Amino acid sequence: MILLAIVLALAPQDEAAAKAALETYKTATAKSKDPKAHADAVTELAKTPHEKVAAMLGSLLTTDDKDVRIAAAAGLATFAQPAELKSSAAKHLTQALTAGANLKMVDVRVAIFAALGALAEESSANAVKSHFDDRDPKIACAAVSAAGQMKSKSLVEPLIQLLRDCEKTVNGGALPLPPPVKGKPAPPPPPQKDLDREKKDRANAVMSAAGAALGALTGQSFKTSDEWERWWIKNRSTFTPK
């Protein structure tokens, strides 16, 4: 009963604080069109965690200047309590990943993934995983890094598979050597298939990120996908992220 009374007493205060923060934000942004000043106002607004503030930050993720969008993502990253607010913040972030101009704003999407990683909201796991194969290495690496922070068991196998795919891209393409002919020197190795440099560079970057994410997620350390796979086969039934 005492706890309930405290909650009921705090609720109107939280509502009043959110209303005051939103009014302060509107006043501050009405005075200046400077993106930096606007972003600073967003950062200040985010210091008042509330559903109404989350809704405002969510709208800013898709409607304002790049710096403001990044500040809004960083603000939502702090909305980890209570669970309902955390879920709401994660929903705003995942919706903004592919909304409007954000598709062309790499820095904004990277900031969104950083926020999702910080929140570690289980319901965002699929949205994060869906970007592992993004062509832009910055986006793919940001998604992979977020997965490592999310501590979701469902992401272990996709990360191992991603690591395996990257290994194939980096190491694949070599043709087998022909068998030696008796009495003749071994022929020189045939030219290796020329892999697309951009794809190989991307695979190297994502491979490194995937290894680090698996380490963060599992507390283990292995070098290859085969080693990760052997560990996972032995431990998947009892593994619980910490």
Give dist(CA 42, CA 29) in Å, integer: 9
Read off the pLDDT of residues 98-117 as tens digits, 9 standing for 90 and up: 998 999 999 999 999 999 99
Can you spell out the DSSP letters for 16-41?
HHHHHHHHHHHHHHHH---HHHHHHH
In the structure encoding, which two tokens stand for residue 46, read together? 């985010």
Report the alpha-carbon distance of residue 172 to residue 182 in Å, rounded: 29
Q: Is the pLDDT of residue 236 over 60?
A: yes
Instruction: Report d(CA 194, CA 187) in Å as an integer.
Output: 20
| Whole-number percent of the chain with pLDDT over 90 | 74
Residue 1, pLDDT score: 47
pLDDT tops 60 at residue 195: no
Structure-block tokens of residue 221: 């350390």
Q: Give the confidence band of 198 by pLDDT, cuts at 50, 70, 90.
A: confident
String of DSSP letters for 126-149: HHHHTTTT-SSHHHHHHHHHHHHH
Q: How confident is the model at residue 33 (pLDDT cuts 50, 70, 90)?
A: confident
pLDDT digits (tens, 9 = 90+) for 121-142: 999 999 999 999 999 999 999 9
Number of other CB atoms surrounding residue 45 within 10 Å: 24
